[in-house]
Structure 1
Amino acid sequence: MARILILFAHPALEKSRVHAQLLTALRGIQGVTLHDLYEVYPDMNIDVRHEQSLLLQHDIILFQHPLYWYSAPAIIKQWMDLVLEHGWAYGHTGTALRGKYLGNVISAGAQESSYHPNGWHKHSITDFLLPFHQTATLCNMQYLPPYVVYGTHRLSYAGIREEAVAYRQMLEKLRDGQLQIQ
C-alpha cells in the first residue's frame, strides 16, 4: 500500500464549496495524510526540515488546490522554493525524492472544453501545470496525470458530492496500486 501526502492549499477555504467537500471525502482513508499548508503556515514561514521529513515518509505527493490565475496559490510556490533544495531534491547529490510520484488535484471554475487550444483559455490544463511536471522530472519523480474537477462555478451540491466520492475512490485506487499510471 502506497502512502499518499496531500499538500493542500486554499487561501479562502471558507468560501469553497468544492474543496470543502473534497476534504471531507478524505476522512478516514488509511495511508492518506492531509497537510493543509495555509493552516500550518499562516505566516508562510515554512519549516523546511519538517516538510522534507514528510516527503520522505510518503510515496505519492499530491498538490491539491484551486487553479488560481493558471497556477497554484502562492504558498505552494513558496513551499517549492524552500523545500525542494538543490542537493536534497535535485542536483548530483539531490536524490531524496527519486522514484516517488508527484501530481496535482485541482478545481477549475470553467468547463473542460474551455481548456483546449480553441477554447476560452487557449491551452490545456496540462499546459498550465507544466512547471509541476518539470519539477517532478528535475527531482527524479514520475509526474501523474492531473485530477481535475472542472466547471466548479456551476456545479450543484449533488454534483460536488459526486465529485467528492469519485475523488475518494481515485485516492484509494492510487494507494492500492489499482490505478493505471502512464
Structure 2
Amino acid sequence: MKTLVIITHPNLEQSRINRTWMQELKKHEEITVHTLYQSYPDGKINVAYEQSLLESHDRIILQFPFYWYSTPSLLKQWQDEVLSYGWAYGPGGDRLHGKELGLAISTFGPVDSYQPTGYNHFTMETLTTPLQQTSNLIGTRFMPLFVLNGVMHVTDEQLEENAKMYVNHVLQPSLIKAN
C-alpha cells in the first residue's frame, strides 16, 4: 500500500520529535514523505500537485505538532485549498473515497493532561473530532491516532523506540472505523 506522510512543522529542523519521526519514515521506500513548510515557504500551495499526490497514494498520514488544539496554520490552509468542493467532497468529489487517513501528533502536554480530569479537559480523540469529521466528509477511513505526549521529557532511547512504533503504525494500522 502506497503511503503518503504529510509533515507540517514550521520549525522541523529544530523539532527533535518530528524530525526523528521523519528520518525513520525515510528509511522505508513504500512511504513518501512530503514536508509542507519546506515545499511552500511562501505559503502558496500548488493545489494540482497536492491533489495528484493524494490520488497516487492509498494511505495518507498528517503529521504535526498540536498547536492550540489544532493543526499548524499551513496544514489548515492546505485542507482549505486542496480538499476542494467537487474534488474531495460534494457532487463529483470522490477522489479520496476508500483511502485511509491518519494523524500523527506530538504534544507538549503529558498524556494525563488530555483527559477529562486533566488541564486540557478533553481526550485527544475528542480534540481531533474535526479532523475525524473531515475524514468522513471526504470518504476516507479514519485510522487510530498516533500521539506522543510530553515531548520535552522523552529520552533519546524512548524517542528511538517511539519512531519505530510510528513506522509500524503507518505501515500496518488497524482501522477503527470505515465510512
TM-score by length of 2: 0.94
Give the corresponding residue for 1:180: 174
Over the matched positions of the two proteins, sequence identity in percent amounts to 37
Maintained 8 Å contact 2:26/2:32 = no
The answer as to 2:109 corresponding to 1:110 is: yes
Maintained 8 Å contact 1:64/1:105 = yes
The answer as to 2:136 corresponding to 1:142 is: no
SS, match of residue 120 in structure 2: coil
SS, match of residue 153 in structure 2: coil
The answer as to 2:37 corresponding to 1:35 is: no
Maintained 8 Å contact 1:103/1:132 = no
- Backbone CA RMSD of aligned residues: 1.1
The count of residues paired between Structure 1 and Structure 2 equals 176
Measure how far apart 1:62 and its partner are.
0.7
Q: Distance in 2 between matches of 1:61 and 1:170?
A: 12
Q: Distance in 1 between matches of 2:80 and 2:20?
A: 29
Give the corresponding residue for 2:16: 17
Q: Distance in 2 between matches of 1:66 and 1:15?
A: 12
> Once structures 1 and 2 are overlaid, which stretch shifts more, 63-72 or 11-20?
11-20
SS, match of residue 96 in structure 1: coil
Measure how far apart 1:69 and its partner are.
1.0
Amino acid corresponding to residue 60 of structure 1 in structure 2: R
> Once structures 1 and 2 are overlaid, which stretch shifts more, 77-86 or 18-27?
18-27
* Superimposed CA distance per residue, residues 20-49 of structure 1 (whole angstroms, 9 cap, x where no aligned partner): 111111123121100000000001100000
Amino acid corresponding to residue 68 of structure 2 in structure 1: W
Maintained 8 Å contact 2:142/2:175 = no
* Superimposed CA distance per residue, residues 2-29 of structure 1 (whole angstroms, 9 cap, x where no aligned partner): 1111110101122211111111111231
Does 1 or 2 have the higher relative contact order (CA < 8 Å, sep 6+)?
1
Which consecutive unaligned segments of at least 5 residues does structure 1 have?
A: none
SS, match of residue 180 in structure 1: coil
Give the corresponding residue for 1:62: 61
Maintained 8 Å contact 2:69/2:127 = yes
Give the corresponding residue for 1:170: 169
Alignment of 1:38-57 (within 5 A): 38-57=37-56
